[in-house]
Structure 1
Amino acid sequence: MSDKRQAPGQGSYDIIIVGGAIMGAATAFFLSDDADFDGRVLVVERDPTYATSSTMLSTSCIRQQFSTALNVEISQFGADFIKNLRTHMGGDDRVPELSIRSFGYMYLAGDAAFADDLRASAAVQQAAGAATRIMTPEEIAAAYPFYNVDDILLGSINTVDEGYFDSVAVFEWCRRLSRERGVEYIENEVVAMTLNAAQSKVESVTLASGEVIACGKVLNASGPRAARTAGMAGITLPVEPRKRFSWIFSAERPLDRDLPLTIDPSGLHVRENGGGTYQAGGHFGEDPAVEPDDFDMDFSLWENHVWPLLAHRIPQFEAIRVTSEWAGQYAMNTLDHNAILGAHDRVENFHFLNGFSGHGLQQAPAMGRGTAEFLVHGAYRSIDLSPFDYARITEGRPLVEKAII
């Protein structure tokens, strides 16, 4: 965070959103789009460059290949929102017309247990209308001859509304239109919260610049910092920052067709990036929680893990060169790898939008819309997102999502 902190324009807001990246921005947009809501909204963002946010450091892709039907439905709305962004934003001619570069996700199974999981998940996805199909090794080799499939039992792929999209454009237009409609964004940081005597409501938040701001409701949209934000209200939240590494590389001999976002049995993933370049990512070995400002790169991973794995799966990638590399973070829900939404059971005006475990960017349109509905109307009016309610955390009742990358 820079030394430049902005004071809010008011001393009280109906809704204060802690975190202005994609989740906070999507919620702010849908709040501004709700004709029944005319309250004041403040978005507090500690770093408006978003340089180390999960939003900016993601793979910018969307998929429908999840193990739960609700997550499939959420991504289907996400795809519709992307492809019809201008319509969803009121037909504003300034809003770009976007598309999805649907090269698909290719999950590769190297053992019988994961093959069974892919078959079961494909049935869930197909029942929800997704175009997922299971491929034998022979079918994979015929369609994508660059893969080594000697140790592969089957693959799962969907090339309809799965692949790359311009996530920065979606993010920027959510922010821009919500601001034009009256949502206030400031560069600052929430450092404390004051509860009422009964400990049942957040009465105010304190900013790093010293202002104490009264609030009607607080939304925790602070990504990998979510547990710290919840802790200010005396709430325990099982969300941890987990480091993920990415590499952009060029190939001496580029592939002759699009490379699906391939999830290798090793845990490595790699996708088409365009112009003879590709993006790989993942983590290797143990996966400890880290500090939310830890973005140190492990430069040994490329030589020791990534390059050998790439060359094994795609022999044409034996001659490649890294052009950039970085570390980002997942906001990992350690209970079940799924989102945490809704209001707290004790601190009734503290709301969650947390724990997306690596699939938040693509889910932001549906989650932002649903959260705005819940904040304004007290219920979900489009997709029923109540299975993600915080209550399952206190009850120890996981809603497990197996398709985590």
Structure 2
Amino acid sequence: MQKTQQTQAPKQSSYDVVIIGGAMLGSSVAWFLTDNPDFDGSILVVEKDPSYEFTSTAHTNSCMRQQFSREINVRISQFAADFVKNFQQYMGNDERVPPLHFQSYGYMYLADNDGFVDVLKESLKVQQACGAGTKYMTAEAIKAAYPFYNLEDIIGANHNLIDEGYFDGGTLFDWWKRSAKERGAEYLTNEVVAMTKNDSGGRVESITLKSGEVIACGKVVNASGPRAVLTSRMAGIEIPVEPRKRYTFIFDAEQPLDRDLPLTIDPSGVHMRSEGQYYLAGCPPDVDPAVDYHDFVQDHSIWEEKLWPIIANRIPQFEAIKVINSWAGHYAFNTFDQNAILGPHHEVENFIFVNGFSGHGFQQSPAMGRGTAELITYGEYRELDLSPFNFERIVNNEPFVEKAVI
């Protein structure tokens, strides 16, 4: 059950930027704005639950990869890797800021048919052109490097051991939030319940808080995660984002592997990886509808009927395993093309999207936060051209096709 939070009153009646949602993406935008010397405006971050207990941020598996089929997605993850590896420098060499743990055991995309091998090899060209360390491996090469796999049905795989794997996204989030606050961003425990547009309908003039205050705003940033459409509807905007449940299980093995388990994407859609001394596995359900915003009930039949049999088949050593923890979280699932929706609305010009990441949010948060801050400050993207993610592609029915979606 959702907790009722005591609302706070804002310090001002007007802000240059109002960010709705203070989790990973909202805090990324706030931090990059405060880090930009050319931005000198005021920032209000409105978050209904400062515990973040029911956010996608709280349920993330916190991994990153460069194995995408589109160049811009590769570049986005490469910036994330650089940011994580050089976190202290990016945070201004603040001696309080710790280094971030980054475990590069890589992703292993297994292919059991020639069609998917062709997809992997086409994606490999894109990744290698960007300087990624991805390599195609035959079944024999996989067996030599990772003898624990059962590869009877596998033809080959793409694998990359450079800047792919688990990173400490929780610490990254905590320090973005803390640093943004110290630099003047105001975080408010409250809820936006309405928006008022100007007479032409081309701008949001103000937001109304649950506590009753009406706040004038220069720009509104929708960083509401799976609830993005509830926020956009206040401005009369529909977006194709809905909550979809994703299931994660942590398990112990009676016979642990003698080396790291790459984040393995089985042809079935099940994925698994090392998790410290344990292992992590997850998957979408076979029937994958939108769910209620409050539905975080775990479905243990998914473990018994789907995950465990597939895991034990792929790695026979995992026949004897025991679940020690599990949870269900929500993807902010973009039903249009499963990629981010970014940038301004084509008609409500000061309404900015940071939505629909469909499971890519943590690894894409540094580049998306930086790009959104550039857009707000300069009116354009500068470091990376993120315009392929603009909302107008939805209006024009032009999906951004990314073949490597988990």
Q: AA paired with 1:105?
A: Y
**Matched ranges for 1:347-358 at <5 A:** 347-358=348-359
CA distance in 2 between counterparts of 1:402 and 1:8 reads: 44
Q: AA paired with 2:390?
A: D
Offset, 1:98: 2.2
Give the aligned length: 404
Q: Is the 8 A contact 2:249 2:323 kept in 1?
A: yes
Residue in 1 aligned with 2:96? 94
Residue in 2 aligned with 1:194? 196
Q: CA RMSD in A?
A: 0.9
Offset, 1:92: 1.1
Q: Is the 8 A contact 2:224 2:355 kept in 1?
A: yes
Residue in 1 aligned with 2:225? 223
Q: Is the 8 A contact 1:72 1:128 kept in 2?
A: yes
Residue in 2 aligned with 1:45? 47
**Matched ranges for 1:140-155 at <5 A:** 140-155=142-157
Q: Secondary structure at the match of 2:57?
A: coil
Runs of 4+, deviation exceeding 6 Å: none
Q: Is the 8 A contact 2:5 2:49 kept in 1?
A: no
Offset, 1:113: 1.8
Q: Is the 8 A contact 1:242 1:289 kept in 2?
A: yes
CA distance in 2 between counterparts of 1:186 and 1:195 reads: 22
CA distance in 2 between counterparts of 1:284 and 1:290 reads: 12
Offset, 1:351: 0.3
Aligned equivalent of 2:28, options 26, 29, 54: 26
CA distance in 2 between counterparts of 1:308 and 1:398 reads: 35
Aligned equivalent of 1:207, options 190, 206, 209: 209
CA distance in 2 between counterparts of 1:74 and 1:363 reads: 6
Q: AA paired with 1:219?
A: V
Q: AA paired with 1:217?
A: K
Offset, 1:296: 1.3
**Matched ranges for 1:4-403 at <5 A:** 4-275=6-277, 277-403=278-404
1:232-274 Cα deviation digits (max 9, x unpaired): 1000101111110000110011100000001001110011001
CA distance in 1 between counterparts of 2:359 and 2:77 reads: 13
Q: Secondary structure at the match of 1:232?
A: helix
1:4-32 Cα deviation digits (max 9, x unpaired): 11111111110000011110001100100
Q: AA paired with 1:151?
A: D
CA distance in 1 between counterparts of 2:403 and 2:294 reads: 27
Q: Is the 8 A contact 1:267 1:284 kept in 2?
A: no
Q: Which segment is superposed worse, 11-20 or 334-343?
A: 334-343
Identity %: 60
CA distance in 2 between counterparts of 1:6 and 1:16 reads: 15
CA distance in 2 between counterparts of 1:128 and 1:99 reads: 24
Q: AA paired with 1:319?
A: A
1:366-400 Cα deviation digits (max 9, x unpaired): 10000000011100111111111111111111111
Offset, 1:99: 4.1
Offset, 1:214: 1.0
Q: Secondary structure at the match of 2:206?
A: strand
Offset, 1:2: 2.6
Q: Is the 8 A contact 1:61 1:164 kept in 2?
A: yes
1:55-109 Cα deviation digits (max 9, x unpaired): 1211111100011000000000000000001111111111112242100000111
Q: Secondary structure at the match of 2:171?
A: helix
Q: AA paired with 1:346?
A: E
Q: Is the 8 A contact 2:246 2:285 kept in 1?
A: no
Offset, 1:3: 2.9
CA distance in 2 between counterparts of 1:347 and 1:160 reads: 41
Q: AA paired with 1:388?
A: F
Q: Is the 8 A contact 2:5 2:189 kept in 1?
A: no
1:191-220 Cα deviation digits (max 9, x unpaired): 111111111111111112222111110000
CA distance in 1 between counterparts of 2:279 and 2:86 reads: 27
Q: Is the 8 A contact 1:217 1:351 kept in 2?
A: yes
> Which structure 2 residue ranges, 5 or more long, are not aligned?
none
Q: AA paired with 2:124?
A: A
Q: Secondary structure at the match of 2:32?
A: helix
Q: Is the 8 A contact 1:251 1:321 kept in 2?
A: yes
Q: Secondary structure at the match of 2:248?
A: strand
CA distance in 1 between counterparts of 2:10 and 2:318 reads: 52
Q: Which segment is superposed worse, 108-117 or 316-325?
A: 108-117
Q: Secondary structure at the match of 2:22?
A: coil
What is the TM-score when the length of structure 2 is the normalising length? 0.98
Offset, 1:284: 2.7
What is the TM-score when the length of structure 1 is the normalising length? 0.98
CA distance in 2 between counterparts of 1:97 and 1:325 reads: 28
